[in-house]
Amino acid sequence: MSLTSLVKRILPLACAYYLAAGWARRRRLRSGIIRTRSGNRHAALDVEASLAYIEGVWRDYLAWADRPALTGDLVEIGPGDNFGVALLFLAHGARSVIAIDKFESERDPARQDAIYRALGERHGLAALFDGAPGEAAIRNLTYLPGMPAERFFGPDAPASDAVISRAVLEHLDDPLAALDAMWAGLRPGGILLHRIDLRDHGMFAGAHPLSFLTIGTGLYRAMTAETGWPNRILLPAYRDFLARRGWPARTGITRLAGVAGEFPALAWDDLPAAARQQALACVRKIRPRLAAPFRDLADEDLAVSGFVLVAEKPPACGPGQGFLFIP
């Protein structure tokens, strides 16, 4: 076990580590250093596994949207080290895709080109490349590394028909303000599709999975602000936000605290009973140690460690359009 891994298992030492690491990360970002090993999912996968992952993510988005395709102009937040998902959307009705990322994931160009070749052959994507398949040759794709969502979705952002992300919103400093900005730039009939991962993303590896909720607000902010580490905005905050906005929206739970694996975006009552009880036991074990912002939350809300958020702007947007929420 490395020294860093050992430090992360001891909460006071881990907090000290993240105070120093957060300072260093903010300094690098302000210096324009955006390269990161985070998000390089395909580095450890063979080509077939990469294709299976890309196709699975693409099918997930369509299932969550309950649409046969996403058309028009799309924005993908946090694509990581590969644009295969964007390619499949371009092949099935999208006019353009803008991919934005606060960081730039490290990638092996040769490995990535092999993925694009295989994906192109399997799905007949030759017309989407200018020449040989490769990242720089993808037509109608704009990649903006170093572009955080908070800056992109401003008054001058291009209008979009869909905004999608997978395990990204939990890394923004103010995801609710970002949702407001995304919605403002969404065309009538457009859709927001976000899979939100509420886990600690390995910050306290080996500790209780909700240990990061035991740290006081001021200290946690000092550790994580502007770094991309999890923001601790949990399901109830999103639920209250959506209720205030009155958007036609729905959510489905995909992960539970202390439970391995994912679920296909289900309501709480539709989750397996054994999984719910396991997650509730996980919450009750740590509840006496929770920091102030989380003490008053229901066990069921604390037990949710991942969910999907879908919000669709009506074709003729106006007041009183209604609100659908799956708790």
| pLDDT tens per residue, range 95-129 | 999 999 999 999 999 999 999 999 999 999 999 99
Q: Determine the longest span between alpha carbons in the chain, in angstroms.
A: 60
Whether pLDDT at 12 is above 50: yes
Q: For residue 123, what pLDDT is reported?
A: 96
What mean pLDDT comes out for the span 265-277? 98
Which residue type does 195 have? R
CB of 162 closer than 8 Å to CB of 76? no
How much of the chain, in percent, has pLDDT values that exceed 70?
Answer: 96
Among 5-14, 115-124, 316-325, name the most confident range: 115-124
Residue 50 · residue 63 · CB < 8 Å: no
Mean pLDDT over residues 274-281, rounded? 98
- Residues 183-241: tens digit of each pLDDT: 999 999 999 999 999 999 999 988 899 999 999 999 999 999 999 999 999 999 999 99
Q: b/e map of 119-137 (b: 16 or more CB within 10 Å)?
A: bbeebebeebbeeebbbee
Task: Report how far residue 254's alpha carbon sits from residue 267's, in angstroms, rounded to the nearest whole number.
Answer: 9
pLDDT of 289 reads 97
Binned at pLDDT 50, 70 and 90, residue 272 comes out as: very high
Segment 22-42, tens digit of pLDDT: 999 999 999 999 988 888 889
Mean pLDDT across 169-186 = 97
Do residues 253 and 64 lie in contact, with contact meaning Cβ atoms separated by under 8 Å?
Answer: no
Q: In the predicted model, what is the mean pLDDT of residues 304-308?
A: 98
Residue with tokens 């946690």: 220
pLDDT at residue 37 in the model: 84
User: What is the spatial distance between Cα 263 and Cα 148, in angstroms, rounded to a whole number?
Assistant: 29
Percentage of the chain modeled with pLDDT above 90:
89
Q: What is this structure's pTM?
A: 0.93
β-pairing, 104-105 vs 186-197, is unpaired
**Per-residue pLDDT at 1:** 62
Residues 6 or more apart from 65 whose CB is under 8 A from it?
A: 162, 191, 193, 310
* pLDDT exceeds 60 at position 50: yes
Question: pLDDT grade, residue 323 (50/70/90)?
Answer: very low
What mean pLDDT comes out for the span 8-33?
Answer: 92
User: What pLDDT does residue 320 have?
Assistant: 39
Residue 324 pLDDT greater than 60, yes or no: no
